[in-house]
Amino acid sequence: MWGTHLAWYHLLHPRPAYVIGSGEPPEGNFMTASWVTPVATDEPLVALALDRETYTYKLVKKYGHFTIAIVEDVNLLWKLGTKSGEEVNKLEMVEYFKGKKVPSPIPKNAIGWIEAEVKQMIPVAEVDMVIGKVVHWEAVKGFGRRGWDLKEVKIPLQKAGRSFVFPCEEVLAKG
């Protein structure tokens, strides 16, 4: 055991860190999350784990939609992940625009984003797995047939806490 500050889930890190937009401005919020994953492609579905005590959870449940934004700024990710939107108005901290298909906020400096409508919320322990139907998505730079061009964009991966890394090498498997 490495110490009590580590947890089993750190074995699954580093993971991409995203900005989750929720609500409808002026009642909106941003939070940082890394527990986000695609779930299906025939019907485009994405899932995120949200603690039921968070302000983001309350807004997603109330309005029925959310956004997932990819940003390159680790300081923004850290800032949006350390205070509750019930304590500070995060919409005043970040320039943003509303999504094209859902009115949840998206940071202005996002290099890509997903807009989703809630399809299902599944209680699991202290979180809900929020399943969203992707209704719109965009990438504004560095995205092509094989996803992100890591020579052009920097996708932050969160190790733990304020520690982030950036992928720096792409390797194609043989065969």
Q: For tokens 């043989």, what's the residue?
A: 174
pLDDT band at 7 (very low <50, low <70, confident <90, very high): confident
Q: Which fold has domain 8-165?
A: Pnp Oxidase; Chain A (2.30.110)
Q: Buried b / exposed e across 71-109, counting CB within 10 Å, b at 16+?
A: bbbbebbbbbbeeebeeeebbeebebebbeebbbbbbee
Ordered DSSP codes for 77-142: HHHHHHS-TTTS-GGGTS-EEE-SSS--EEETT-SEEEEEEEEEEEEETTEEEEEEEEEEEEE-SS
CB 28 within 8 A of CB 108: no
**What is the domain partition of the chain in residue ranges?**
8-165
**50: nearest Cα among 21, 12, 7:** 21
Tell me, what's the pLDDT at 1? 42
pLDDT digits (tens, 9 = 90+) for 142-151: 999 889 999 9
Tell me, what's the pLDDT at 146? 87
Reply yes or no on whether the pLDDT at 2 is more than 60.
no
Task: Tell me, yes or no, if the pTM score tops 0.85.
Answer: yes
Tell me, what's the pLDDT at 4? 54
